[in-house]
Amino acid sequence: MLTTLFLLGPAVLVYVIYQIVTQALPRFFLVPPQHWQDKILKVINHPKPIYLKVGAKRSSFRRRLITASLQPSFYTNFLSNKLQLHPKDTENKDGFFMNAMKRRAPNDASRKVIYGFFHPYANNGGGGEKVLWQAVHATLLEDPRNIVAIYTVNVDAKPLDILQKAADKFAITGIDSKRVVFIYLRRYALLIDSSYWKHFTLLGQLFGSAVLGLEAMYELSPDIWIDTQGLPGSYLLANWVLKEPIVAYVHYPIIQPDMFSKLKFQKFSDLIAMSFSATDVKQAIKFLYWTALYSFYMYLGSMVDITFANGTWTLNHIKKIWYLNPIRGREIALLYPPCSAEVPKGVVDTVVEKVKPRKNNMIYVGQFRPEKRHLLVLEQYSKFLAKFRDSKLPLSSLPTITFLGSCRTPTDSDTLDKLYAQVRKLDISDYVEFVVDCSYEELKEHLATAKFGLNAMWNEHFGISVVEYLSFGVVPIVHASAGPLLDILSTDTPSKTWENNLGFFFKSEEDPDYSGVKQGDNLDFFVGDETWTYPTLSALLTKLFIKSPETISDANLAKKRALAKGILEKKFSSKIFTTKWMEFLRSVAIMERTYRENRRDGIDGVH
């Protein structure tokens, strides 16, 4: 008897938890109490403004207020989690406001839909945020009934300030602020920060994103869940609890098959040869941990209805990991991020006709993070500088470097401090400049006057900064991998050597995929059955500025700029992104209606 109870206990517990998650929580988040109208009428009829008393039912009440209001943005929780009614809503002329809050059928033409963008770092200034705000803009343009909810942990930034920053930083204007509701998440922000988890970081962040997602749903449950930051832990609750469509814009897969190549045991059959030494046991545990994480990530991905990959590298990896999605009829598509790829006004003459001379300057636009490999650039530049001094060439032909980037976290600040120290150590301060947290206007000024643009990241999943180089007529000098190689500087096929008709390429002996074969200054990399050969950055700079300066003559650089202009407008413009996003939204809207009818299990009957 005791044995039976012992065995049944966990099963019963799992069943109870499942029922809570799939049945009780949906009603808790989505269904207001029986006499919800009386609570709202009490506020409307009160002679003075008072708070709406909703207890723990904030999500269901806030949903109704937002979808009925003429100014949904008023129902943010920036100042407080308490709910007040907008003065115009309290007028309730002819009962309009109360009638607008009544439940509507899925196909009701007047029903408003809340698109929830789960992007905790919405006020940061990186490429991911540009995707967010362009997607928000496109979502609002698609249908006047669409309302956007932004879930953010940037609790010190006011809603209008965040929108203004998006306009200033990314030149995204015309967002209807009345239809953008900011939901501030104050409790569990630290749980998605990698620095919070000293061990089992990925597992911790998956757990953290689930908990933060739960907080988001507690404050406001949307109709469609959109993850533009890469927090897949939230998919579980969006699928099980809210039972709604999930859209994910994937900048990079958080777990990749390549990670197993670093382990001693890479598949279960390898465990046969395992000894019971401390080292092998540790390696076996690590293998099992990564396998469990990989399987869980694959399961989370199977819940996503539409997956966008930001480039070919990411697309190939996501298709391999989430291989079940196409089988289940769930789309995985390539959607390049919006990159302001339209050639800016006032720069066209510089790009094509060379009316204004450009500075002999290489700029590197990118956040100050270790993976951007600024240190590699400094070390390689120092080696090149030694050769340049030996060449006795005039100093005017020496290219300088300007690093432009933002510091989001203490880790970023530490990285920047290390770069300052390395510049002093290498004694290259006269040739290197840092511009930290610059405005978009200042960034444009640098882009409009520099000749070359650097990118040294290994397997940069896309590389928005490289597109911006091209759009401003800055000729790229980039690491030959992932986005810059496969998507941005590729016309028909990726370049297998140091130059093509759009830019220049280099590799490094520090690259994880380096074969170890070196021919002079060139490094061999094995790609399938082929060998692709590239120089190091110092060797490339030596070739361009010392040995073969005719390669970078004004005429040759002008040809690269002219070709880039046509390619950019077809592949990477904000207009192209907006058009494609809106096309997919129409499919998502159909899914949302279908999910309401088929997956909510009668919940919408009282919603």
Residue 59: predicted pLDDT:
94
Nearest by Cα to 123 from 167, 165, 77: 165
Per DSSP bridges, beta strands 400-405 and 306-309 are unpaired
Q: pLDDT digits over 163-184, tens only?
A: 999 998 888 989 999 999 999 9
Please state, in angstroms and rounded to a whole number, the distance separating the CA atoms of residues 349 and 101. 55
Question: Token pair for residue 352?
Answer: 């094509």
Q: In what order do the strands lie in the sheet with 180-184?
A: 180-184, 146-152, 113-118, 224-227, 246-250, 306-309, 331-334
Cα–Cα dist 31/25, whole Å: 10
Helices (H), strands (E): how many in the chain? 22, 16
Under 8 Å between Cβ of 188 and 215:
yes
Question: What are the residues whose beta carbons fall under 8 Å from the beta carbon of 247, sequence distance 6 or more?
Answer: 224, 225, 226, 227, 304, 305, 306, 307, 308, 584, 588
With the CA atoms of 456, 457, 462 and 466 taken in that order, what torsion angle do they form, in degrees rounded to the nearest 10? -20
CA distance 129 to 117: 11
Closest CA to 244 of 253, 235, 254: 235
pTM of the model: 0.85
Single out the residue of 371, 335, 317 nearest to residue 479, CA to CA: 371
Amino acid present at 10:
P
Q: Residue 21: its pLDDT value, please?
A: 77
> Structure tokens of 607?
């919603």
Residues 6+ apart with CB under 8 A from 27: 603
**First and final CA of the chain: distance in angstroms?**
44
pLDDT at 187: 94
Q: Which pLDDT does position 355 carry in this prediction?
A: 46
For residue 71, the model assigns a pLDDT of 94
Continuous H helices in 256-303:
278-301
Rounded distance between C-alpha atoms, residue 326 and residue 137, angstroms: 28
Two structure tokens written together for 260: 């197993």
pLDDT in tens, 465-501: 899 999 999 999 999 999 999 999 988 788 899 999 9
CA distance 242 to 235: 10
Could you check whether 36-257+306-336+578-605 and 348-572 share the same CATH topology?
A: yes
> Could you confirm whether domain 36-257+306-336+578-605 is CATH 3.30.300.30?
no
Taking the C-alpha atoms of residue 46 and residue 298, their distance in angstroms, rounded to an integer, is: 53
Residues of the chain with pLDDT under 50: 341-355, 606-607
**Tokens representing residue 504 in the block:** 């220049």
Instruction: Tell me the DSSP string of 178-209.
Output: GGEEEEE--SSGGGG-GGG-SSSHHHHHHHHH
User: What six digits make up the tokens of 257?
Assistant: 């098959």
Spatial neighbors of 353 by CB under 8 A, at least 6 apart, are none
Q: How many residues does the chain have?
A: 607
Which amino acid is it at 137?
H
Q: Which of 151, 147, 305, 139 is nearest to 220 (CA)?
A: 151
Q: Where are the domains of the chain?
A: 36-257+306-336+578-605, 258-301, 348-572
Q: Which CATH class is domain 348-572?
A: alpha beta
Chain centroid to Cα 194, Å, comes to 16
Cα 583 to its chain centre, rounded Å, is 20
